Amino acid sequence: MIVSFKDAFKFIGIIITVCCAVLVCNMFLNYHIDLNAIAGEISESQQVAYKAMQLNSKVVCGVTGGCLAMTSAVLLIFYIGNYIKEHSARFGILKALGYNDLKVAASCAVFGLCVLIGAAAGYALSWALMTKFYAAQNDGETLPTVVLHYQPVLLLTVVLPTLFYSALSVLIAYIKLKAPALSLIKGGDKLRRIKVTKSDKDRNFLTELAFSVIKGRKMLVFFVGFGCFCFSAMTQMGLSMRTYASDMMGYMILIIGLVLAAMSLLLALSAVISGNAKTVAMLKANGYSIKESGLAVLGLYHLPAVLGFAIGSAYQWGVLNVMINIVFSSVEGTAHYAFDWKAFGVCTAIFVVAYEALNQYYVWRITKTPLKSLMSE
Amino acid sequence: MIEIENVKKSFGSAENVQQILKGINLTVNNGENIVILGASGSGKSTLLNVTSGLERVDEGKVIYDGRDITALSDRELTAFRRATVGFVFQQYYLLPDMTVDKNVRMGADLAGNSEYRKIIEEVGLADKLNKYPRQLSGGEQQRAAVARALAKLPQVLFMDEPTGALDEATGRQLLDYVLKLQKERGFTLITVTHNENIAKTADTVVRLNSGAIVDISRNISPKGAYEIGW
């Protein structure tokens, strides 16, 4: 087998993200179907609250599930691209021996396994939490009690993503493997086209290095920004939701936000560090200090991080404003929503400390790696 | 002066320890051109790494003008490398996403050397200033690596198989340039190689076999890069 099962398990980021996506979708879709079943019991006065609950379950499922599904797809593209780059010689030799692109790419279908694991875990977890979730949703006593029923059709939340992501894996691999066999054998770096850009600015070496580390790595910039966006939006939203919805909703959003943020940031920063291991080795060999090396390699990623955090704060304010002050405004007893400055302050403080700690950890990690092992990679 | 005293270095796990350096003693005078000669696996690259402070010794001392670098902390060792040594490796290790100009500037900025472009001209890469390493031949990449090391104005230049990946013409050209500059500037040059011919260009030749020095000889009249066989 070209790609082993062991390789698929390395895609832990995708497993966790898919798990979260299926967890949320299965709970809210199950609830939505059961909610539809009580439509005949809804009185005229309960119609507004009922429609709001229906919309709420659809929006949460669509936005959270959709967002997580898209994240999984982006993660998959990134992981497979990186995997092929790391093992390009192996793929190149197979191509040189006469295996066709599709046959080689088909072996990447095994990456669908990580989606299956994540989806199955999410599905199981959703059923572990389902009773509590229904109890929390029924807590308001505005609507008749929604009774929990098992919906077998929702097993598709496990099957469909597995099939879709397996096919997507093969497609991504097929596109990536279009490069000539010799280029693949020579290594992933050769696959990248050189974009010669003349800089008239006479920047010093470390500044130039910082720009070169971030230039041409839009995906990593995106992941850093996205991770901080998720952290900012979902932690603030989670804290506010405890007041406006329920503790359970709040914690769920909070946990999903933290998982997404951690996955994105760990993925991006690990890729930045591993992609620049030799650069750091040369900096160390020549006598650049730990601080200088860390700043040059990770310093400019602070910009997308701060931007992601700021956009996340604005986004959660916009979403909650629309949901609470517009969609649920006619539901009796719904409080007016205003920007939660306290949550913002707490999240900002945690963000600054956590992001800097993560940076320091990665700087420490590179400096503790022996030069010899960095150079022999 | 560099004094290497009873340096030992091993690699591998407890059950499978391989002693690479078995108590090396050597003295290198300032401004000396020394070649460490040995077959593959003789420990010559390890000796270069521990002498330059890239790796730590298991036992022994490496003393630069009275200062034992084996006793330095990581931070102090980094500062030592910054101020004292330059490297040229067989695999060049140029930064792939930076131009020749910026790669050389990597060394120059450490020494505050604003005249570094003169070195690029001297190694014959003036017209390749804005080229990336992948756009250069092997010889050009190695010349860029030499320019980077020299732009740092090192007191000691370490070269690990500098001509190993080059063809004869390019290898001679590079060696000629480094030897000329070493004489002009008077820095200490320590080259590791398996090429017997290159040893003829050195003041002192140290032969290494299985982690031990087996012979030290002096060349009364060292030859130039174009006077030796290849």
Do residues A152 and A205 both lie within one domain? no
Do residues A210 and A181 both lie within one domain? no
Interface test with B, best of A198, A203, A208 (most B CBs within 10 A): A208
Q: What is the average pLDDT across A148-162? A: 90
Residue ranges making up the domain that contains A146: 1-188
Which residue in B95, B44, B82 sits closest to B211, CA to CA?
B44
Which domain-ending residue is among A188, A215, A245?
A188
Q: Is A204 on the interface with B (CB under 8 A)?
A: yes
Closest-CA residue of A relative to B81 is A287
Closest-CA residue of B relative to A209 is B98
Question: CA of B222: how far to CAs of A201, B56, B206, in Å?
Answer: 45, 32, 14
Which domain-ending residue is among A163, A188, A213?
A188
DSSP string, B30-94: TT-EEEEEE-TTSSHHHHHHHHHTSS--SEEEEEETTEEGGG--HHHHHHHHHHHEEEE-TT---
Q: Is B228 domain-assigned?
A: no
pLDDT score recorded for residue A350: 92
Residue B33 phi/psi, 5° resolution? -105, 110
DSSP A343: H
Do residues A90 and A235 both lie within one domain? no
Asked whether the beta carbons of residue A287 and residue B82 sit closer than 8 angstroms, the reply is yes
Do residues A173 and A217 both lie within one domain? no
- Check which CATH number belongs to the domain holding B205 and give it: 3.40.50.300
Q: Of how many residues is chain B composed?
A: 230
The list of chain B residues with pLDDT below 50 reads none
Which domain-ending residue is among A145, A163, A188?
A188
Do residues A275 and A334 both lie within one domain? yes
Asked whether the beta carbons of residue A205 and residue B109 sit closer than 8 angstroms, the reply is yes
Place A240 in a pLDDT band, splitting at 50, 70 and 90: confident
For chain B, how many structural domains are there in total? 1
Pairing status of strand B59-64 against strand B188-193? unpaired
The yes-or-no verdict on residue A192 having pLDDT over 60 is: no
Which residue in A154, A155, A174 sits closest to A166, CA to CA?
A174
Which residue in A105, A129, A125, A114 sits closest to A161, CA to CA?
A114
Residue B87 phi/psi, 5° resolution? -130, 145
Strand order in the sheet with B18-28: B18-28, B2-11, B59-64, B67-68
Q: Is B226 domain-assigned?
A: no
pLDDT digits (tens, 9 = 90+) for B189-216: 999 999 999 999 999 999 999 999 999 9
Q: Of how many residues is chain A composed?
A: 377
CB atoms within 10 A of CB B161: 20
Do residues A288 and A336 both lie within one domain? yes
Do residues A147 and A289 both lie within one domain? no
Q: Is B212 on the interface with A (CB under 8 A)?
A: no
Task: Kindly state the tokens that stand for A23.
Answer: 């967890």
pLDDT score recorded for residue A46: 80
CA dist A316 and A239 (Å) reads 11
Residue ranges making up the domain that contains B96: 2-218
CA dist A28 and A62 (Å) reads 10
Asked whether the beta carbons of residue B105 and residue A208 sit closer than 8 angstroms, the reply is yes
Q: Is A263 on the interface with B (CB under 8 A)?
A: no
Do residues A184 and A195 both lie within one domain? no
> Looking at the partner chain, which of A215, A278, A287 has a beta carbon nearest the beta carbon of B81?
A287
Note whether A344 and A312 are within 8 A (CB): no
Q: Is B230 domain-assigned?
A: no
Of A160 and A254, the one with more pLDDT: A160
> Residue holding tokens 């950890």?
A361
The yes-or-no verdict on residue A125 having pLDDT over 90 is: yes
Place A195 in a pLDDT band, splitting at 50, 70 and 90: low
Do residues A141 and A212 both lie within one domain? no
Q: Is B225 domain-assigned?
A: no
CA dihedral (B69, B211, B32, B145) in degrees, to 10, reads -80
Do residues A326 and A204 both lie within one domain? yes
Do residues A337 and A232 both lie within one domain? yes
CA dist A279 and A283 (Å) reads 6
Lowest mean pLDDT among A3-7, A283-287, A292-296, A326-330: A3-7
Q: Is B157 on the interface with A (CB under 8 A)?
A: no
pLDDT score recorded for residue B17: 86
DSSP string, A279-336: HHHHHHHHT--HHHHHHHHHGGGHHHHHHHHHHHHHHHHHHHIIIIIIISTTSTTPPP
For chain A, how many structural domains are there in total? 2
Terminal alpha carbon distance of chain B: 31
Note whether A29 and A126 are within 8 A (CB): no
Do residues A163 and A260 both lie within one domain? no
Of A109 and A67, the one with more pLDDT: A109
Residues in chain A within 8 Å Cβ distance of B80: 287
Note whether B109 and B115 are within 8 A (CB): no
